[in-house]
Amino acid sequence: MGIILERVTKDDIETVWKMQIEAFSGLLEKYRDYDTNPGAENFEKVLTRFEQPWTAYYFLVADGQRIGAVRVIYKKDGSRKRISPMWIMAEYRNKGYAQQAIAAVEDMYGSDNWCLETIKQEAGNCYLYEKMGYHRTGEEQKVNESMDLVFYEKD
Let me know the angle formed at the C-alpha of 7 by 5 and 112, rounded to the nearest 5 degrees. 60
pTM: 0.95
Domains of the chain, earliest start first? 4-110 (3.40.630.30)
| pLDDT at residue 138 greater than cutoff 70 | yes
Span 73-116, pLDDT tens digits: 999 999 999 999 999 999 999 999 999 999 999 999 999 999 99
Span 141-153, pLDDT tens digits: 999 999 999 999 9
